[in-house]
Amino acid sequence: MTHNYKHGFSGFAAMLTEDQAEQLAEFPEVISVKPSRTCTATTTRSWDFLGLNYQMPSELLRKSNQGEDIIIGVIDTGIWPESRSFSDEGYGPVPSRWKGKCEVGQGWNSSNCNRKIIGARFYSAGIDEGTLKAEYLSARDAHGHGTHTASTAAGSVVEGASFHGLAAGAARGGAPRARVAVYKSLWQGSGGSSGGSSATILAAIDDAIHDGVDVLSLSLGGLEDDSFGALHAVQKGITVVYAGGNSGPRPQTVENTAPWVITVAASKIDRSFPTVITLGNKKQIAGQSLYYQEKNSSRSTFRSLEFGDLCTADALNGTDLKGKIVLCFPSDPESSLVPGSAFQVALRNVRDAGASGLIFAQYTTDLLGATARCQGIACVRVDLDTGYQISRYISDTSSAVAKIEPARTFTSKELLAPKVAAFSSRGPSIYYADVIKPDIAAPGASILAAVGDSYEPKSGTSMATPHVAGIIALLKALHPQWSPAALKSAIVTTASVTDEHGMPILAEGLPRKVADPFDYGGGNINPNRAADPGLIYDIDPSDYKKFFGCAISRTSASCNETFVPGYHLNLPSISIPDLRSPITVSRTVTNVGEVDAVYHAAIQSPPGVWMDVEPSVLVFNSTNKVHTFQVKLSPMWKLQGDYTFGSLTWYKGEKSVRIPIAARMTLHDFYADVA
């Protein structure tokens, strides 16, 4: 037996053969037997961009006292306790309700916990020996991923943080006065990526329930079949925040989609890192990179410019590239949507061939993070059109040359932001089509945060997740009695669907498009609006059991008696994946704003769907704080269609409470028709 679960539910993890697992499942006391699956890990400007400037405290930062004494549990690769982001200077005693512990281990003793990092656990059972030998057998972070996410959620204020002068500013977490509890469940494998098992994640969640965390942040993927732990945490009043995954922009790639968790998409902020390329014809072109020059190194100079095409190892074999700058293109435009993948291959190949620089053409240029490091040579990313311009210059010139300047930091409202990042996984969920996922988008591209003793930018929904966890911590400090469902409702119903110029938020992809709920859920998170949402859609945790009945029941009879479609849960969204005939769903809202308030409904029907709300006016007072209303959706045509999107917004003056709606009209259940 590798793990014993006792705080959220009764169970255990063990190494069993298939026959043993089948025999165990036959016992009447056993609800289910499931395999442990592999799970993977999927700042200075972002908080200001979201309106949480600590130097001029917003309403939310000020009223929540920056998340004072809220405990954020981070289930990740561990933490680097010496980072300045985890200084406990100025902190009071550890909250008396804390029941956790500080486990000692390799490179970690009890003094590594303090009044900021108040707990540390690690879970090595079931991890192969080869991985453990290359790791710290303790809560110490050998990878940097967990340190980055923890400091993004709750890091203390650190002035003058930067990545070699880039993205300079004050690094801090969303809830800089919150406490951190570390649960190391992901371990760095031989390939450099981080992973763990669902059994270890479940053990970490079980301990976090016992320890007394308020919020759980999990920047990892691959847990769809094992969401029981998160459900038990939510039943104990703990808000659970998960990364949505980095497999976008393809549809139906979003992960961690159980309705009781908050699933996070990644968006971009209004900062870039322009890098100037000067061609031999004196034409200057701007790309983006994290290229910097070491101190005392010589200034950028012109170098021969070579066309490397796809820059595969075979294509470059036998080509004299010593000291040259090479232009490369991805073999597949879609491969350049994922942070680092195609770029890293090209970088390795040209560097191994002796080149001094790389110009990499790709679909989007601002997916910068640890994978964007130039590895000792000059490098820059340009968009495909710019790449073709440089290619023409090379072909039209007998001795093409270029030079690459170090990157700079540029922040401006002229940059279109926010936008949904291309790599961010998209809905609908393949597991829960009747629930809109992801729930919310938050900054996740080129986020600067702590890694070891320094600071580095990283990109991914892993970076977006702790942004949401930090904001939830602030809201929990401000509204300590709110349930996880209420907190989730607050951020979804107040999210932004327009950018800083008032235009609809875009989603990067092939091609770019106006974002819809399967890209960003309710929209891009707006912390200050979430502090005072007006109305909330709350859920009794027992309702989730009805929804999840088929997964936890042993008989089809009990399943049929208890099962409730996801669109009947009181979620701050509505998704109807099979709209064949009129469907009516109910929603209940609770007034958490002004006691006497009147809200009016504004309907934006999904194209092809007739929608009605009854009643269309909600009147709240001291005796009527809760109202239930019905939403009727009817297909306007008999056709087999794709999803279309709309919304329902309750207005009171300038205050609006908006939920997204998705509907797909269907004529046939193709599986049922041919089975």
Could you list the active site residues? 76, 145, 462
Q: How far is CA 666 from CA 205, 253, 517, 641, 643, in A?
A: 39, 22, 19, 6, 10
Q: How far apart are CA 647 and CA 660, in angstroms?
A: 4
Which residue in 664, 652, 363, 637 sits closest to 517, CA to CA? 664
Distance CA 5, CA 332 (A): 45
Residue-wise DSSP of 607-628: TTEEEEEESSEEEE-SS--EEE
Per-position DSSP letters for 149-172, written without gaps between them: HHHHHHPPPEEEEEETTEEEEEE-
Amino acid at 519: D
Q: Tell me the pairing of strands 187-188 and 179-184.
A: unpaired
CA angle 434, 224, 560 (to 5 degrees): 50
Give the span between the Cα atoms of 574 and 595, in whole angstroms.
27
Specify the pairing of strand 574-579 against strand 655-665.
Answer: parallel
Helix (H, G, I), strand (E, B) or coil at 401: strand
Extended strands (E) in 299-453: 303-307, 325-328, 357-362, 378-383, 401-404, 410-411, 419-420, 440-443, 447-451
| Separation of alpha carbons 292 and 311, rounded Å | 23
Residue 399 CB neighbour total at 10 angstroms: 7
Residues 6 or more apart whose Cβ sits within 8 Å of residue 329: 309, 310, 311, 360, 361, 384, 387
Prior bond of 428 cis (ω within 30°): yes
AA letter at 158: V
- Which residue has tokens 């100025």? 90
Torsions phi, psi for 551 (to 5 deg): -80, -30
- Contact by Cβ (8 Å): 246, 42: yes
Cα–Cα distance, 228 to 205 (Å, whole number): 10
Structure tokens at 449: 């945060």
Residue in 483, 513, 329 with CA at minimum distance from that of residue 420: 513
CA distance 62 to 82: 28
Q: Which of 314, 389, 310, 321 is nearest to 350 (CA)?
A: 321
Three-class SS state of 350? helix
The Cα 637–Cα 463 span in angstroms is 42
